[in-house]
Amino acid sequence: MSKKIGLYIYTGDGIKDAVDVDKLVELATGDLGCAVVKTSDDLYSAEGAAMVKADIDSEELNAVALAGVSPRYDFPGFSFPGVYVEKTSLRELVVWSHQIPADAEDADAQKEHVQELAEDYIRMAVTRCQKAELPEPNKMEDANTKILVIGGGVSGMSAALEAAEAGHEVTIVEREAQLGGFAARLRKQIPVGPDYSNMVDPIANELIEKVNANDKITVRTGTEVARLAGVPGAFRVSFKAAGSKSEWDAPVPLTDEEKLDENGNELSAEEQKAKYDAKNEGRHDYMEEDPNAEIHGAVVLASGWKPYQPADDEFPHLAWGNAAVVTNVQFEEMAKAGNITKPDGSPAKNVAFVMSPGGAEDDADFPYASATTSLVALKQAKYVREDYPEDGKAYIFYQHMRTPGQYEYFYKGLQDDPGIFLTKGAVTEVTPGDNGLTVKVEKTILGEDIEVDVDLVVLATGMVPTTKDEAVVNFAYRQGPAFRDLDLMGGYCDSNFICFPYETRRTGVYAAGGVRRSLTIEESLEDAAGAALKAMQCLVAAQEGHAVHPRTWDFDYPDFYFQRCTQCKRCTEECPFGALDDDEKGTPKPNPTRCRRCGTCMGACPERIIGFKDYNIDVVGSMIKSIEVPDDDDDKLRMVCFACENDAYPALDMAAARGASWSPLVRVIPVRCLGSVNVSWIKDAMSSGMDGALLLGCKYGDDYQCHFMKGSELANARMANVAESLNSLGMEPERVKLAQVAIDDYDKVADIINDFVEEVVGMGPNPFKGW
């Protein structure tokens, strides 16, 4: 569809002083062929919006470009049905970030740079308007609104109640014979509301009653999910008796090792298929549909946690293996069953709680421990005092006593008990003796190294998410039944723990409670409400055809040009959310409601056949090519910077707002995720004579901040290939660089750009410039 474009240039906030706006108008009306070009120093007002609307109506514009304030600012009135709207930043990316000092000797030359920069942003905006199409949402109007809750503990029951109260039908599937989970097996629990100063009776039974009384909730105890197939809005759930085998068990794909022969060479497709079939004998293919499956729209995963059970040879210095050394879970079982006793059954009146196993060298708590572990130790210390009020003594040796928020009152309340003794310190040794155990603690706040004789030692071990060692949900997905990247994520299933709580790495499945993180019962209740809300939102998103978090405004979805697909499987392998299934040949099968629109598939595709209506290989490639690259001026090198919209781009905005400035040789193009950056764009940039490409993306690795799991990490791997290609062309591989930027790195991002520019300038112009 040919475009009739209106360009509106905002001239306020110093834009008209820094830039020759008339020249921009001339460029747009002339070379760029915009039908309407207007300037305004009050563009983002109701009047401004009315002006644009009037032009759309009178001139029949079908695309509008707003050049001025960063696209991250949303002004009301600028959404026009049927009209593509592009926003580009002159204020942040041109004016604020390129201030020219009044006394600069080369002010004129600098001004020229800024003018060219502004012109390029106008070119890119207009180019995008020309190339981009309006999305047509994939509405799933018949989306099923029933919610499946996996796990019948306090988190699962609460999530079910929340969803039922909001009007949804709910199925709770619980592996055990009764509801309640771990919370029902406690003697006492940490409070779930004021007053926080002491432990309270378990609330699990109350929830069980409520669930049983709710006619919107179906409870299936002694049951597991054999497989979960399909998509959000239409998940196909196959149930089976807990612990049994089923023909509908989800098949498990070959691991990377299994795909190799003895010599380490990759097996042929046929051989792999045979091996896969052997591995999954008796199970239906993942794409096969179970006719008896029950349809659910969304899933709350509340499968909870398992106690961390130390290996037999673990913690020898803490005398693990001695019958008088137990974990906090074993201690809880004992406390629930009766009085606290030594292994021989006599009263255990002196109990030491060890919070950190690392001795003097390492102050880390036990694996999977958290604030909850601290609170549990306080609670269990009180058991000792309950059982032996006269002479019971409980010692808590901690490196970290974590009692966040209201739980400080819990700490205060239990600290008041004269028989609970607390000190920070490194427990270096537990030695069994004739009369129990001796605990040695160094660096205590008592100012000395101490030893204490006790009857029992309790190790404050942590809460391991059930997803760590089990598939739990059993997805019948191309990428396998479990959540991926479990090694990277410590066994957890979150997709971005901080920014998108409850969201797992599988759209439509929302985690709550102990499976999501180590937490208290009170926090589990809150979690359950959060996850239930997310599940409901996901159903609305499926119905309306927009993405779930973080791109909830996005009605677009990836489009595949299958005729050119080579079945290379990169997209199906790399999709962070397992959105893509495939057929026997390996042709991808998209599932739009599973997709989060990050574009990782687009970045991965070597055939460049995947794209979105307003964000694809051609749109961005054309934007790059629209940049004017002088081919005979060594002072005017050109570099493209792909900046991740989620963190890097906001960091640039903030840096500009704070007066940071960076080289005018760089043109910033926002991208959804570095994972969506296709190497063809780098090639486009280099072949159009640009001298370098900088990729700014989120941190990856242990402290990953990527909103789409591994986008920047994938981009980094891809750029290594680009570097090789550059090398083979005789170009410096350093011309392409990836830098990790957190959203609060606004004080560093200008330096990152300037250092890169300096490096490229040092290398000199692209040798292929002007070809």
Nearer to other proteins, 434 or 448 (CB): 448
Total interface residues for other proteins by CB under 8 A:
22
Q: Nearer Cβ to other proteins, position 194 or 447?
A: 447
Interaction mask 320-339, other proteins, x per CB under 8 A: --------------------
Strand order through the sheet with 36-40: 36-40, 5-10, 63-68, 84-89
Cα angle 479, 481, 485 (rounded to 5 degrees) comes to 60
Contact residue for other proteins among 274, 446, 720, 729 (CB under 8 A): 446
Q: How far is the CB of 178 from other proteins (least distance, A)?
A: 40
Taking the complex as a whole, the smallest distance from the CB of residue 411 to other proteins amounts, in Å, to 8
201 binds other proteins (CB under 8 A): no
Of 103 and 448, CB closest to other proteins:
448
Q: Write down the least CB distance from residue 317 to other proteins, Å.
A: 14
In angstroms, give the least distance from the CB of 409 to other proteins. 12
**Residues counted in the chain:** 771
Residues between 392 and 411 that touch other proteins (CB under 8 A)? 393
The answer to whether 197 contacts other proteins (rule: CB under 8 A) is no
Q: Give the helix, strand, coil percentages of the chain, each rounded to 5.
A: 35, 20, 45
Query: Closest approach of Cβ 759 to other proteins, in Å?
Result: 50
Beta bridge partners of 452: 439
Provide the sign of the torsion angle of the four alpha carbons 125, 126, 128, 134, taken in this order: positive
Query: Judged by CB under 8 A, does residue 267 bind other proteins?
Result: no
Least distance between other proteins and beta carbon 448 (Å) = 5
The secondary structure element, H or E, covering residue 19 is none
* 746 close to 655: Cβ distance less than 8 angstroms: yes
The CB-based long-range contact list for 417-422 (8 Å cut-off, 24+ gap) reads: 417/381, 417/382, 417/385, 419/384, 419/385, 419/389, 419/391, 419/392, 419/393, 419/394, 420/378, 420/381, 420/382, 420/385, 420/394, 420/396, 421/393, 421/394, 421/395, 421/396, 422/395, 422/396, 422/398
Q: Which is nearer to other proteins, 345 or 418 (CB)?
A: 418
Contacts of residue 345, Cβ cutoff 8 Å, sequence gap at least 6? none
Interface region with other proteins, contact rule CB under 8 A, candidates 195-203, 248-256, 418-426, 752-760: 418-426
User: Which of 445, 487, 584, 771 is in the footprint of other proteins by CB under 8 A?
Assistant: 445
| Segment contacting other proteins by CB under 8 A, of 292-300, 413-421, 611-619, 708-716 | 413-421
Cα gap 519→81, rounded to integer Å: 46
Identify the residue among 48, 191, 253, 419 touching other proteins (CB under 8 A): 419
Task: Please identify, among the stretches 230-238, 302-310, 438-446, 555-563, the one whose residues bind other proteins according to the rule CB under 8 A.
Answer: 438-446
Q: Is 450 in the site for other proteins (CB under 8 A)?
A: yes
Determine if 449 is a binding residue for other proteins (CB under 8 A): yes
Beta pairing class for 294-296 and 234-241: antiparallel
Task: Identify the residue among 276, 421, 500, 768 touching other proteins (CB under 8 A).
Answer: 421
DSSP, residue by residue, 444-469:
-TTSS-EEEEESEEEE---EEETTTT
Question: Residue 448 interacts with other proteins (CB under 8 A)?
Answer: yes
3-state secondary structure of 17: helix
Among 444-452, 477-485, 524-532, 721-729, the segment contacting other proteins (CB under 8 A): 444-452
Between 424 and 672, CB nearer to other proteins: 424
Can you tell me which of 42, 391, 469, 634 binds other proteins, judged by CB under 8 A? 391
- Give the Cα separation of 294 and 134 in Å (integer): 36
Among 22, 106, 362, 451, interactor with other proteins by CB under 8 A:
451
DSSP 11: -
Binding range to other proteins, per CB under 8 A, among 194-202, 236-244, 323-331, 419-427: 419-427
With contacts defined by CB under 8 A, name the span among 211-219, 221-229, 390-398, 697-705 that binds other proteins.
390-398
Q: How far is the CB of 188 from other proteins (least distance, A)?
A: 20
User: Which secondary-structure segment (H or E) carries 488?
Assistant: none
Record the tokens describing residue 413, joined without a space: 């309340």
Q: Which is nearer to other proteins, 78 or 411 (CB)?
A: 411
Enter the tokens of residue 522: 């009170």
Write the secondary structure of 72-102 as one string of H (helix), E (strand) and C (coil).
CCCCCCCCCCCCEEEEEECHHHHHHHHCCCC
DSSP state of 676: G
The two beta strands, 610-611 and 639-644, are unpaired
- Nearest CA among 744, 662, 675, 747 for reference residue 708: 675
**For other proteins, which residue of 418, 433, 730, 762 counts as binding (CB under 8 A)?**
418
Interacting residue with other proteins among 167, 447, 730, 762 (CB under 8 A): 447
Strands lying side by side in the sheet with 217-221: 217-221, 170-174, 147-150, 298-301, 509-511
Identify the helix (H) or strand (E) that includes residue 522: helix 521-544
Alpha-carbon distance of 158 to 251, in angstroms, equals: 31
Binding to other proteins by residue 559, rule CB under 8 A? Answer: no
Q: Does 412 bind other proteins (CB under 8 A)?
A: yes
Q: Does 455 bind other proteins (CB under 8 A)?
A: no
Pick the binder of other proteins from 440, 534, 594, 769 (CB under 8 A).
440
Q: What is the pairing mode between strands 223-231 and 234-241?
A: antiparallel
Kindly indicate which of the ranges 294-302, 412-420, 470-478, 752-760 contains the residues binding other proteins, using the contact rule CB under 8 A: 412-420
CA quadruple 682, 27, 111, 45: dihedral sign: negative
Using an 8 Å Cβ cutoff, are 681 and 570 in contact?
no
Out of 92, 119, 120, 417, the residue judged to bind other proteins by CB under 8 A: 417
Instruction: Specify the 3-state DSSP secondary structure of 668.
Output: strand
Q: Which of 13, 112, 169, 442 binds other proteins (CB under 8 A)?
A: 442
Asked if 382 is part of the footprint of other proteins (rule: CB under 8 A), the reply reads no
DSSP 639: E
Shortest separation between residue 377's beta carbon and other proteins, angstroms: 16
Query: What is the DSSP-derived secondary structure letter of residue 699?
Result: -
- Environment class of residue 489 by beta-carbon count within 10 Å: exposed (0-12), middle (13-18) or buried (19+)? buried
Contact residue for other proteins among 416, 724, 744, 758 (CB under 8 A): 416
Nearer to other proteins, 446 or 717 (CB): 446
- Residue 429 or 470 with smaller CB distance to other proteins: 429
Residue number, 442 or 559, with CB nearest to other proteins: 442
CB of 392 to other proteins, least distance (A): 9
H helices, E strands: number in the chain: 18, 30
Nearer to other proteins, 309 or 435 (CB): 435
- Considering only the stretches 151-159, 292-300, 441-449, 743-751, report the one whose residues sit in contact with other proteins under the rule CB under 8 A: 441-449
Report in angstroms how near the CB of residue 417 gets to other proteins at its nearest: 7
Closer by beta carbon to other proteins, 312 or else 390:
390
If we measure between CA atoms, which residue out of 593, 589, 592 comes closest to residue 562?
Answer: 589
C-beta closer to other proteins: residue 401 or 533: 401
Euclidean distance between CA atoms 330 and 186, whole angstroms? 11
Does 452 bind other proteins (CB under 8 A)? Our answer is yes
Binding site for other proteins (CB under 8 A): 390-391, 393, 412, 415-419, 421, 423, 440, 442, 445-453
